[in-house]
Amino acid sequence: MALYVQKYGGTSVGSVERIQAVAKKVKGFKDQGHDIVVTVSAMSGETNRLIALAKEMQVVPSPREMDVLLATGEQVTIALMSMALEHQGLKVRSYTGSQVRILTDNSHGKARIEDIDVQKIRDDLDAGIVVVVAGFQGADQHDNITTLGRGGSDTTGVALAAALKADECQIYTDVDGVYTTDPRVVEGAQRLSEITFEEMLEMASLGSKILQIRAVEFAGKYKVPLRVLSSFKEGPGTLITIEDDDKVEKPVISGIAFNRDEAKLTIMGVPDIPGVASKILGPISQANIEVDMILQNVAEDQSTDFTFTVHRNDFDQAKAVLQRTAKQLQAREVKGDNKIAKVSIVGVGMRSHAGVATKMFDALASENINIQMISTSEIKVSVVLAEKYLELAVRSLHSAFELGRNDTISE
Amino acid sequence: MALYVQKYGGTSVGSVERIQAVAKKVKGFKDQGHDIVVTVSAMSGETNRLIALAKEMQVVPSPREMDVLLATGEQVTIALMSMALEHQGLKVRSYTGSQVRILTDNSHGKARIEDIDVQKIRDDLDAGIVVVVAGFQGADQHDNITTLGRGGSDTTGVALAAALKADECQIYTDVDGVYTTDPRVVEGAQRLSEITFEEMLEMASLGSKILQIRAVEFAGKYKVPLRVLSSFKEGPGTLITIEDDDKVEKPVISGIAFNRDEAKLTIMGVPDIPGVASKILGPISQANIEVDMILQNVAEDQSTDFTFTVHRNDFDQAKAVLQRTAKQLQAREVKGDNKIAKVSIVGVGMRSHAGVATKMFDALASENINIQMISTSEIKVSVVLAEKYLELAVRSLHSAFELGRNDTISE
């Protein structure tokens, strides 16, 4: 008998039939004798519908009132879910974020959870009641309704699990776990039975958008065992764990992440003097453009080239900003390329294994793929390459690191 | 400078454009220096949409969770209305029933307001803020969300006005006031500038469904001046007042109400013994059928006839119940007629004027309309007649009591 906090996202509760299917699933867990806290998102599409209504009222809708509006999405789901669970013969009680209460700061639209009062939930669980909590929302100290921002329901699930010291926080989604890479690109991609929080963070920020980064960070911080599973398909999913130093064998690489939405900008022939980097990147960040990788060439003749990557959507704007900077700095030229992609190998095992990067570069070289930029962290090596090589690169790396079902027996 | 509580119903806030129109209206009042508290219903259609979803989950949805669900309807409206008001340049704050807080008992779906904490609202008004409160909802002492039942937004408006000692509670609706009778039936029907609470109660319960009866009762009890106005058309509407004994001249009759949804049942030849009425009506009320008018004939030969009216929708079921009763009582026959209607004259003035009923019967007789049943109260006389005579009866009474624009100069 365990206590599980189960989070069901917008797709999992996207229709009457899906809510009923979730209720049956919960009934199964309850029948096995487990205590269950369910947290849910708004039905898929609902949040966008509400945002559209708000924008008709005000060009920039009031953040406080936007939260009042958006919070109704999850409130509808908790009520419908509770009815479906009652229909399964279970005792149920629903709570909004404010009712629980999930205390947050007052940053409307991106509030952070400060405290959760779990007394009511504990009492309900002790009475055999399934508790249904609205995800994504809370209330500040003055009882103003707040929301945690998109994907905040994952954070609600993890925070509830932490506060309740649950045995597991289970995030039900439309994929059945975390894969070594995108199965649409590599046919032999495998579901990982386990992955560490740090690896998951690198995978998530690199475009494997299964879990919200904040939820993973939160789970890591409070050591909440987190499991990603499918709402639609039976299976153990992927357990996201605290790194276990006692484990004898760790896979060197857990997965290959990639991201197509990249663009590259180069300013050529800038004077190689202190402060030039901030002169170049300052105006970019002032324009609210996020920069990812940065590369400065070794200087020649007191002048250097400076390259960075941005999200592809920001490419045109960043280029315009950079051209103004180039004039001021009397730089030679601005070049841009929005047909690039980023591929990363991720794994805690690389800490203790030398030569991982070399193996990566060799694999790419053997396919004649040119590497344009390189960036490394403790558990990740990322390279930028021409977009047209993306699939080839991912497949060759997946195979080189023996991640596939048919590659070897190494796992 | 006055304090107005303004209630806007579902049709008045039924679309983005209508909410914007209400916001402009409120801006006008604010510009005149008035303090404004707005209370709103769910956008028209929303409550029915939510109920349909609930019924897909559970045949009889949990009353607690139904309230959690339905309360989202008004929550959406307060957020959108607040945004529209901010767009007009006003300072605004929205509150759900729970946030105010509007304390109710725990009868989910038909909760009664026990107390309203107006401190936050007063502070906001003092700071020049327009306050927007979700109608129809509250919270019980354990912070469970409750709803007041259909039409409860009127009650919220009146209760807020009473608690805030507002100068007026203004109910904005899709009609521009209370009329002497339905203008669709009598062309010359006139808007009443004033009507008493008692008259309004009789008019409302007789089918002039402008205001919820509970709200009118509440307003009468707490002596809240209540005004019915149109959201779409300028005008002073109708003020519903406490009866003023000092007023020298009162109109004898304020209006003609009528109701088509009536049906009549007669059980003939029942023994004229004590307790026979309850033997007949007991099974009817056990079947949850409401009985309106009741008539027992003068007995002949120890046997009598017993007639009553029910809502037309209940006619078939009531007839079946009555036929079973007739067998038990060895009654002679059951007769029914679902093509009847009820017409009533209403007015506090009839208390002090004799001959009002006679004048009514004369007017009907002069049109050769047969009266089937009669029922009277202190300020009302109702008659049942064949439905086909309804319009003729209403017009002749409207004219006999000189209620029309062109009838006389008596008003």
pLDDT (tens digit, 9 = 90+) per residue, A17-29? 999 999 999 999 9
Please tell me the predicted confidence (pLDDT) of residue A21: 96
Nearest chain B Cα distance for residue A5, angstroms: 21
Average pLDDT over residues B190-201: 89
Please tell me the predicted confidence (pLDDT) of residue B215: 86
Banded model confidence at residue B326, pLDDT cuts 50, 70, 90: very high
Banded model confidence at residue B129, pLDDT cuts 50, 70, 90: very high
Write out pLDDT tens, residues B340-382. 999 999 998 887 777 888 899 999 999 999 999 998 888 899 9
Banded model confidence at residue B28, pLDDT cuts 50, 70, 90: very high
Please tell me the predicted confidence (pLDDT) of residue B218: 86
Is it the case that residue A253 has pLDDT exceeding 50? yes
Is it the case that residue B411 has pLDDT exceeding 50? no
The shortest CB-CB distance from A72 to any of B61, B72, B143 is to: B72
**Mean pLDDT: which of A365-379, B65-79, B141-155, B224-238 is highest?**
B65-79
Banded model confidence at residue B24, pLDDT cuts 50, 70, 90: very high
Please tell me the predicted confidence (pLDDT) of residue B375: 87
A98–chain B Cβ distance below 8 A for any pair = yes
Please tell me the predicted confidence (pLDDT) of residue A77: 98
Banded model confidence at residue B250, pLDDT cuts 50, 70, 90: low
Three-state secondary structure readout of chain B: CCEEEEEECCCCCCCHHHHHHHHHHHHHHHHCCCEEEEEECCCCCHHHHHHHHHHHHCCCCCHHHHHHHHHHHHHHHHHHHHHHHHHCCCCEEEECHHHHCEEECCCCCCCCEEEECCHHHHHHHHCCCEEEEECCEEECCCCCEEECCCCHHHHHHHHHHHHHCCCEEEEEECCCCCECCCCCCCCCCCECCEEEHHHHHHHHHCCCCCCCHHHHHHHHHCCCCEEEEECCCCCCCEEEECCCCCCCCCCCCCEEEEEEEEEEEEEEEEECCCCHHHHHHHHHHHCCCCEEEEEECCCECCEEEEEEEEEHHHHHHHHHHHHHHHHHCCCCEEEEEEEEEEEEEECHHHHHCCCHHHHHHHHHHCCCCCCCEEEEECCEEEEEEEHHHHHHHHHHHHHHCCCCCCCCCCC
Banded model confidence at residue B19, pLDDT cuts 50, 70, 90: very high
Percent of chain A with pLDDT over 90: 68
Q: What angle do CA A318, A388, A291 make, to 5 degrees?
A: 25
Side by side, the strands of the sheet bearing A145-147 are A113-116, A102-104, A137-139, A145-147
B242–chain A Cβ distance below 8 A for any pair = no
Contact list in A for residue B18 (CB cut-off 8 A) is none
A80·B54 Cβ contact <8 A: yes
The shortest CB-CB distance from B57 to any of A65, A80, A145 is to: A80
Average pLDDT over residues A2-18: 95
The shortest CB-CB distance from B76 to any of A56, A62, A69 is to: A69
Q: Which residue has the higher pLDDT, B247 or A107?
A: A107
Banded model confidence at residue A411, pLDDT cuts 50, 70, 90: very low
Q: Which residue has the higher pLDDT, A115 or B405?
A: A115
Please tell me the predicted confidence (pLDDT) of residue B407: 61
In sequence order, the 6+-apart residues with CB closer than 8 A to the CB of B54 are A79, A80, A83, B61, B65, B66, B69
Please tell me the predicted confidence (pLDDT) of residue A407: 61
A53·B96 Cβ contact <8 A: no
Contact list in A for residue B92 (CB cut-off 8 A) is 62, 65
Contact list in A for residue B58 (CB cut-off 8 A) is 83-84, 86-87
Is it the case that residue B248 has pLDDT exceeding 70? no
Please tell me the predicted confidence (pLDDT) of residue A248: 54
Write out pLDDT tens, residues A171-195. 998 888 889 998 888 989 999 999 9
Q: Indicate the range of A126-135, A331-340, B145-154, B402-411 predicted with least confidence.
A: B402-411
Average pLDDT over residues B314-332: 94
A372–chain B Cβ distance below 8 A for any pair = no
Contact list in B for residue A43 (CB cut-off 8 A) is none
Write out pLDDT tens, residues A353-395. 778 888 999 999 999 999 999 988 888 999 999 999 999 999 9
Banded model confidence at residue B275, pLDDT cuts 50, 70, 90: confident
**Interface with A, mutate which of B46, B69, B137 (most A CBs under 10 A):** B69
The shortest CB-CB distance from A87 to any of B57, B71, B99 is to: B57
CATH number assigned to the domain covering A3-174: 3.40.1160.10
- ipTM of the modeled complex: 0.81
Please tell me the predicted confidence (pLDDT) of residue B1: 86
B62·A92 Cβ contact <8 A: yes
The shortest CB-CB distance from A80 to any of B64, B69, B98 is to: B69
B20–chain A Cβ distance below 8 A for any pair = yes
Is it the case that residue B98 has pLDDT exceeding 70? yes
* CATH class for the region spanning A255-400: alpha beta
Is it the case that residue B288 has pLDDT exceeding 90? no
A385: which 2 tokens? Answer: 């390459």
Contact list in A for residue B71 (CB cut-off 8 A) is 75
B377–chain A Cβ distance below 8 A for any pair = no
- Identify the helix (H) or strand (E) that includes residue A23: helix A16-31
Write out pLDDT tens, residues A51-74. 999 999 999 999 999 999 999 999
> Domain B3-241 belongs to what architecture?
3-Layer(aba) Sandwich (3.40)
Please tell me the predicted confidence (pLDDT) of residue B303: 87
Q: Which residue has the higher pLDDT, B216 or A227?
A: A227
A53·B143 Cβ contact <8 A: no
CB pairs under 8 A between A and B: 109
Is it the case that residue B300 has pLDDT exceeding 80? no
Banded model confidence at residue B399, pLDDT cuts 50, 70, 90: very high
Banded model confidence at residue B150, pLDDT cuts 50, 70, 90: low
Contact list in A for residue B19 (CB cut-off 8 A) is 57
Is it the case that residue B405 has pLDDT exceeding 50? yes
Is it the case that residue A126 has pLDDT exceeding 60? yes
Please tell me the predicted confidence (pLDDT) of residue A218: 86
Banded model confidence at residue B213, pLDDT cuts 50, 70, 90: confident
B54·A79 Cβ contact <8 A: yes
A65·B83 Cβ contact <8 A: yes
Write out pLDDT tens, residues B78-90. 999 999 999 999 9
A77–chain B Cβ distance below 8 A for any pair = no
Is it the case that residue A409 has pLDDT exceeding 50? no
Is it the case that residue A410 has pLDDT exceeding 90? no
The model's pTM: 0.82
Percent of chain A with pLDDT over 70: 95
**Interface with A, mutate which of B22, B27, B59, B68 (most A CBs under 10 A):** B68
Cα–Cα distance, A16 to B178 (Å, whole number): 43
Please tell me the predicted confidence (pLDDT) of residue A1: 86
Please tell me the predicted confidence (pLDDT) of residue A207: 58
Nearest to B66 by CA among A62, A377, A75, A110: A75
A26–chain B Cβ distance below 8 A for any pair = no
Q: What is the mean pLDDT of chain A?
A: 91
B75–chain A Cβ distance below 8 A for any pair = yes
Q: Which residue has the higher pLDDT, A299 or A306?
A: A306
A57·B143 Cβ contact <8 A: no
Domain locations along chain B: 3-241, 255-400
The shortest CB-CB distance from A16 to any of B50, B56, B76 is to: B56
